[in-house]
Amino acid sequence: MKPASADRLPGNVGNEIVARRAAWSFDGGVADTFVEHIRQSVPGYEEGHDLICSLSDFFCQPDSVCYELGTSTGELIGKLAAHNAHKPKIRWIGVDTVPAMLDKARRHCGRLPNVEFVEEDARLLAFEKADLIVSYYTVQFIPPRDRQNLLDRIYEALNWGGGFIMFEKVRGPDARFHDIFTNLYMNFKLDQGFSADEILSKAESLKGVLEPFSSKGNLDMLHRAGFVDVTPVFRNLCFEGVLCIK
């Protein structure tokens, strides 16, 4: 018997974004409304940006090279460059694989002369030595089989004393906590104006695409990469940020 989901049409996930089951993509028309969509989808999204800008003060030297992996429309890297505008020789490099996102990012950061963008998969990127690398809800979209290698390469790319800031959606530490976080997150999305159908369609589209690890799973990967000094800096339900220092 054919499962009921087999004939399900592409679903509206909110903000005029349509996605198929287990086939979420940042390509197509997603870039047009991405900023609004992600602000409504991630608790503490703007607060996370502000926190990362403040943390950058501890790592950005006047001649630093700094990366944002998964830069999307350039919102965060633009804020980082503006926050550190008194250090104009810093190079900010935004990395993404989606041309439409990078087009938006280049227009958004067009007045910032020390921001550049690279169309490349972070797993294949030839890193320059860096003082700061930021991944804001990006590693969770990397296939699990490739994540350890990526974090290994990030560790190697950092200068001694450099910082890696990683924000991720995480699974609860056990089934009960995970159920609580999931329920509260659904309530958050309803409060943001998403309909139940939009929430379900988004969850369907992310199957096999967004694969969160637990906090411990991420910490284990970071330790295997070589990071010893790791501390949480943000938590809102199932969304977590950590600071790692080489």
Largest CA distance in the chain: 65
Strand, coil or helix: 196 = helix
pLDDT for the residue numbered 14:
45
Full-model pTM: 0.90
Cβ neighbors of 97 (< 8 A, separation 6 or more) are: 119, 120, 121
pLDDT for the residue numbered 176:
95
Residue (of 70, 79, 181, 52) closest to 123 by Cα position: 70
Exposure string (b/e) for 52-61, b if CB count within 10 Å is 16 or more?
bbebbeebbb
How sure is the predictor about 195, in pLDDT bands with cuts at 50, 70 and 90? confident
pLDDT at 194 over 90: no
pLDDT digits (tens, 9 = 90+) for 45-102: 999 999 999 999 999 999 999 999 999 999 999 999 999 999 989 999 999 999 998 9
Tell me the Ramachandran region of residue 101: left when phi exceeds 0, alpha when psi lies from -120 to 50, beta otherwise: alpha
pLDDT at 18 over 70: no
Topology (CATH level 3) of domain 1-246: Rossmann fold (3.40.50)
